[in-house]
Copies of this chain bind each other. A is one copy, B any other.
């Protein structure tokens, strides 16, 4: 079996090796500062007794699980600390497929490409539901595809790549469909701190034993390289997920979890607000520049991404590499996210050089 793997690292590597200055708008790596408390915690950790350098509990540091449980209003036993949201989604999807309640996984198109990759690797079959032009998902379209073979419905909100934030009614309906077909709704909320619309509703508000919520500190604390995330499982699904986590990874990274725990405790809301404000300004400035350049584009309600379409320049990997070499701007090809946006390019707003990038794009496409 060979898997389809996401192209992110490939394009990032291509941009890094380019023989010219390139504005990196590929990765989901925030370019803003992590919380001060996180750096302080790492210093503190470095001097701890060496028993703190040994295995943390497999399901994560107890205090971190308690902190997450308290903030999210769930039972601490529901919380598994994972190696980022990536592992959280892997555990959730594996659990859904192993219930012997179907082997189809409903995904959106455009889709975050790790989801179909994980689906295939785990022996499931992806079924795609196309979203509207603004990225919204109509639950009735999901219902049309749902059937007795449905194991899971996997979505993320705020959405990567479309920037859509699903209203409460959509989240509620997706969980209801999962219940109806004895499937699991897996809701990846890793961009929850970057809701620019004020309309984000966590799936945790919909109580159900057919719902798993995944998240991470990667984006909210600007530490994608620390690999600390979590999944919140219904109690009847959590034991098996902990077992798979133990058999795959044994445990997560203690220094990373220690630093995140301290940062979680000590970081004020103002930190998160300032990052949201920065992102809001960047959305304004980049979309204004695209507007001035006459490009078609999406305006995100949340997450880091703007999609743009340039006449006669479809979103292929080849075109993305050409754009790196010839315009000095690196984005992601729309075709990496399925078929629905294969005419588009995705740009991540994780650089201060947005206007420069937009100018380069305007000059290149004029």
List the interface of chain A (C-beta within 8 A of B).
1-3, 5-6, 9, 13, 27, 29-34, 39-40, 42-43, 45-47, 50-58, 83-84, 86-87, 90, 98, 114, 117-118, 121, 222-227, 239-240, 242-244, 246-256, 259
Contacts and interface: CB of A to CB of B under 8 A. Distances in A.
A248 B253 CA distance: 15
Given A55-B27, A226-B254, A246-B6, A45 B47 contact: no
A227 B250 contact: yes
B3 A247 contact: yes
Contact of A253 (B27, B58, B256): B256
A211 to B, nearest CB: 21
A203 to B, nearest CB: 22
Contact of A249 (B244, B249, B259): B249
A81 to B, nearest CB: 12
Copies of this chain, tallied across the complex: 2
Given A34-B53, A83-B248, 19 more contacts: A1-B240, A3-B240, A3-B247, A9-B58, A34-B50, A50-B222, A53-B226, A86-B247, A87-B248, A87-B249, A87-B250, A114-B250, A227-B253, A227-B254, A248-B248, A253-B253, A253-B255, A255-B255, A255-B256
Contact of A250 (B30, B86, B244, B255): B86
A231 to B, nearest CB: 13
A83 to B, nearest CB: 5
Contact of A3 (B46, B58, B244): B244
Contacts of A121: 243-244, 247
Given A50-B222, A255-B42, A249 B29 contact: no
Q: Which 10 A-B pairs have the closest CB atoms?
A: A225-B254, A253-B253, A86-B250, A42-B46, A29-B54, A3-B243, A5-B243, A1-B98, A83-B249, A55-B224
A57 B29 CA distance: 12
A206 to B, nearest CB: 27
Identify the interface centre among A32, A55, A224, A251: most chain B CB within 10 Å of its CB: A55
